Amino acid sequence: MNIEEFDYDLPKELIAQTPMEQRDECRLMVLNRAKGSIEHRHFYDILDYLHPGDCLVMNDSKVIPARIFGIKEKTGAHVEFLLSKRIEGDRWETLVRPGRRLKPGDKVDFGDGKLEAEILEYGKDGTRIVEFHYDGIFMERLEELGSMPLPPYIERPSDEEDKNMYQTVYAHYDGSVAAPTAGLHFTKELLKKAQDKGVKLAYVTLHVGIGTFRPVKCENIEDHHMHFEEYYVKPETADVINQTILEGGRIVSVGTTSTRTMESAAYKDEKSGKYLLKAGHGNTGIFIYPGYEWKIVNALITNFHLPKSTLIMLVSSLYNREKILEAYNVAVKEKYRFFSYGDAMFIE
């Protein structure tokens, strides 16, 4: 398939720059695949579309304040680090700017010596492999000195509000450098109401890497190679999801990261003949686009995604490319808010 088949026109003013004051008061577009219909609701109305026996699956990875600003030793040049992925111990794959100023052997100071970094070697795609030195606990230093790594299409510096709002209410395990944004709309109260209705809640963990912002550059999308991300499925999570599948309930995935985790960890159960979820650690580079055979996920809560992105390809695979693009054009016409801090879509 050609990448141009996943393009649409988006006015810049529809790209949300700030979060909603109330998480669950954003708009919700509901796509009913059986009827081919589109409804316009608010996110708190998601309860009307969740049924007893459904299982709502969320990504509980926590966004770290991965953007830090420092001073290069010897020259005093101002530099920016964006931590991309922990490699081992205090070694990280890091995006650096300006890159030409940072070579192996260079050292950078953050916060007047509270955190120091040494460039060890060049990494992939222009990154650097960096080792940090500090007193105390690394994440405490990062919380003190770092800021939230807002996506490049949010054209403002991050602030204190982002430390709360660019994080799901159920975030638990440190490791992401981008939020699993479909989950930003849930409040603790809304999740409690879902449980009270008989909806099961389950959590997987996938640490979102900086590759989520990298564009598809191949004309033929089948030639695109995805970045790899680490995930973990707890045994109790697999049990809840598998029980739901065997009992005929729906698996409702919250976001594309939860989706990629479950589809990556799926296996065919010989006894039931169904695809079930395998517990454990893994790394996934799964690329889901039209023609993919879905195994676990039945319905999807998601945000509106960038044109020509792997994410719009994923949602097109779950429904239908033409129908998705039609829905996106309706969203533009109705002035929905797009991307990370934007409105939501439910594909049922």
pLDDT digits (tens, 9 = 90+) for 193-235: 999 999 999 999 999 987 766 778 899 999 998 888 999 999 9
Q: Does any domain span residue 240?
A: yes
| Ramachandran bin of 44, using left for φ above 0, alpha for ψ from -120 to 50, beta for the remaining angles | alpha
230 and 263 assigned to the same domain = yes
DSSP state of 147: B
Sorted by sequence, the CB contacts under 8 Å of residue 44 that are 6+ apart come out as 24, 25, 190
250 and 114 assigned to the same domain = no
132 and 185 assigned to the same domain = no
8 and 137 assigned to the same domain = no
Specify the pLDDT at position 303. Answer: 98
pTM of the entire structure? Answer: 0.94
120 and 208 assigned to the same domain = no
What are the start-end ranges of the E strands in the chain?
27-32, 37-42, 55-59, 61-63, 67-72, 78-88, 91-97, 107-110, 115-122, 128-134, 173-176, 200-206, 229-233, 251-254, 266-268, 275-277, 280-284, 299-303, 344-347
Q: Does any domain span residue 72?
A: yes
56 and 182 assigned to the same domain = yes
Q: Does any domain span residue 299?
A: yes
Specify the pLDDT at position 328. Answer: 98
Sort 158 into a burial class: Cβ within 10 Å, 0-12 / 13-18 / 19+: middle
Specify the pLDDT at position 5. Answer: 97
Domain of 96, CATH number, reads 2.40.10.240
Closest CA to 251 of 55, 52, 32, 34: 55
Range of the domain at 238: 3-63+163-347
Residue 58: strand pairing partners? 203
Q: Is the dihedral of CA 321, 322, 325, 331 positive or negative?
A: negative
- The per-residue pLDDT of the chain, averaged, comes to 96
284 and 334 assigned to the same domain = yes
Q: Which residue has the tokens 């499925």?
A: 233
Q: Does any domain span residue 43?
A: yes
Q: Is the dihedral of CA 109, 120, 144, 97 positive or negative?
A: positive
Per-residue pLDDT averaged across 35-55, rounded? 98
142 and 238 assigned to the same domain = no
74 and 142 assigned to the same domain = yes
Q: Does any domain span residue 53?
A: yes
Q: Does any domain span residue 154?
A: no
Domain of 310, CATH number, reads 3.40.1780.10
139 and 56 assigned to the same domain = no
Per-residue pLDDT averaged across 231-257, rounded? 98
* pLDDT bucket at 114, cuts 50 / 70 / 90: very high
Q: Does any domain span residue 157?
A: no
Task: Give the number of domains in the chain.
Answer: 2
135 and 20 assigned to the same domain = no
Q: Does any domain span residue 227?
A: yes
Residue 318: strand pairing partners? none
239 and 319 assigned to the same domain = yes
> Token pair for residue 211?
């590759």
Select from 146, 177, 205 the last residue of a domain. Answer: 146
* pLDDT bucket at 172, cuts 50 / 70 / 90: very high
